[in-house]
Amino acid sequence: MTINRKSWVDRRIPPVCSSLWDTLVLPLFDYLSSPRSIDDIIEWGAIRGHSHSMINNMLAFLSLVGKVRHDEASVCWMLGSERQSYLESRGDRQSAIMVQR
């Protein structure tokens, strides 16, 4: 008997290099056209059927590609980045796709 060590949530979250992220994060990216608190984002995600884990991963991906940032002064997530994205620095295709949007 084999044991699957990945949880159900882990199996639903695509790897960072997956092209699925393009469509997964676009609605959240659009929602962040105005700064939003994490509570607002979680509520928005719950309405759309996203788990807390998925919302965290979506924010992490958008942050990783340099599209959003968390502003500590306002305690909100917003568009923009204060640094070059990690994926851009590696020349990753995924980053280039998000930059076009």
**What's the angle, vertex CA 48, arms to CA 42 and CA 52, rounded to 5?**
35
- pTM tops 0.85: no
- Note the pLDDT of residue 25: 95
pLDDT band (50, 70, 90) for residue 4: very low
- Six-digit token pair at 57? 């991963």
Q: Is the pLDDT of residue 30 over 70?
A: yes
Residue with tokens 């949530």: 9
Q: What are phi and psi of 31, to 5 degrees?
A: -60, -30
Strands (E), the chain: 68-71, 76-79
CATH class of 20-100: mainly alpha
pLDDT higher at 10 or 34 = 34
Q: Is the pLDDT of residue 66 over 70?
A: yes
Separation of alpha carbons 73 and 30, rounded Å: 22
